[in-house]
Amino acid sequence: QQPVQSPQAVILREGEDAVINCSSSKALYSVHWYRQKHGEAPVFLMILLKGGEQKGHEKISASFNEKKQQSSLYLTASQLSYSGTYFCGTDDYGQNFVFGPGTRLSVLP
Amino acid sequence: DTGVSQDPRHKITKRGQNVTFRCDPISEHNRLYWYRQTLGQGPEFLTYFQNEAQLEKSRLLSDRFSAERPKGSFSTLEIQRTEQGDSAMYLCASSPDGQQPQHFGDGTRLSIL
């Protein structure tokens, strides 16, 4: 079953922050985050395994609440290069790997 | 590391024809995934392989679709008797195992006339 992402789209000014949420109705083992720019393949950002850990990469970080089957992606001090569509992918203990519908992020100068 | 390679990049064919796509994963990646993506949607899972074994196939996939990975290296995806609704980008991804990042190829864009 496909995870739910919110918001569907967000528009930011350069330097602003954004949060993208991903939730599933199934118990999750891991959540993956990818970014896809128009006309390009998805690019891996990070994986979060069960345990409620939080990961970070420069100004992009994410958390995973295993009990709520939710993950959030945090983008701080956004840059123009952050524009694209963000997908979460969920793994329900190896049964299925499913991508969400995506959140379109536009960063304006 | 040359990345995931897909061939062809574009395929235009008439309805009813058969098409075959090829994916060369990153060497030594045991997992290989096939996805279909239409405009404005996320990648839709089709099937995946662990080495040469096909472990999962989407229930949404009709019998016209078949995939192989004969020696656990490259993979092919065949669509028989293509229909208008098959028009999409077909993405291949590989990873060392199920809990590692998936590395995507540039995809094959299929257009059905």
Side-by-side strand order, sheet with B75-79 = B5-7, B19-24, B75-79, B65-68
Which pLDDT value is given to residue A97? 83
Give the whole-angstrom CA distance, residue B64 versus residue A93.
29
What percentage of residues in chain A have a pLDDT greater than 70?
92
Please report which confidence band the pLDDT of residue A14 belongs to, taking 50, 70 and 90 as the band edges: very high
- Which residues 59-88 of B have a C-beta within 8 angstroms of A? none
| pLDDT tens digit at each of 113 positions of chain B | 579 999 999 999 999 999 999 999 999 899 999 999 998 899 999 999 999 888 877 876 788 999 999 988 999 999 999 999 999 999 999 999 877 889 999 999 999 99
Give me chain A's average pLDDT, please.
90
Which pLDDT value is given to residue A109? 94
Closest CB from B91, B98, B106 relative to A91:
B98
Does the distance separating the beta carbons of A43 and B42 come in below 8 Å? no
- Using a CB-CB distance cutoff of 8 angstroms, which residues of chain B are in contact with residue A24? none
- Using a CB-CB distance cutoff of 8 angstroms, which residues of chain A are in contact with residue B41? 101-102
Which pLDDT value is given to residue A18? 96
Q: How long, in residues, is chain B?
A: 113
> Which chain A residues touch B if contact means CB-CB below 8 Å?
2, 29-30, 32, 34, 40-44, 47, 49, 87, 89, 91, 94, 96-102
Give the whole-angstrom CA distance, residue A52 versus residue B36.
31
Q: How far apart are the CA of A59 and the nearest CA of chain B, in angstroms?
A: 20
In tens, the pLDDT along A42-66 reads 999 988 887 656 666 678 999 998 8
CB-CB contact of B94 with B103 (8 Å): yes
- Using a CB-CB distance cutoff of 8 angstroms, which residues of chain A are in contact with residue B104? 41-43
- Using a CB-CB distance cutoff of 8 angstroms, which residues of chain A are in contact with residue B56? 96
**What DSSP letter does each residue of A67-98 carry, written as one string?**
TTTEEEEEE-S--GGG-EEEEEEEESTTS-EE
Q: Which residue has the higher pLDDT, A81 or B2?
A: A81
Q: Over range A2-10, report the average pLDDT.
A: 95
Does the distance separating the beta carbons of B45 and A97 come in below 8 Å? yes
CB-CB contact of A86 with A102 (8 Å): yes
φ, ψ for residue A62 (rounded to 5)?
A: -150, 155
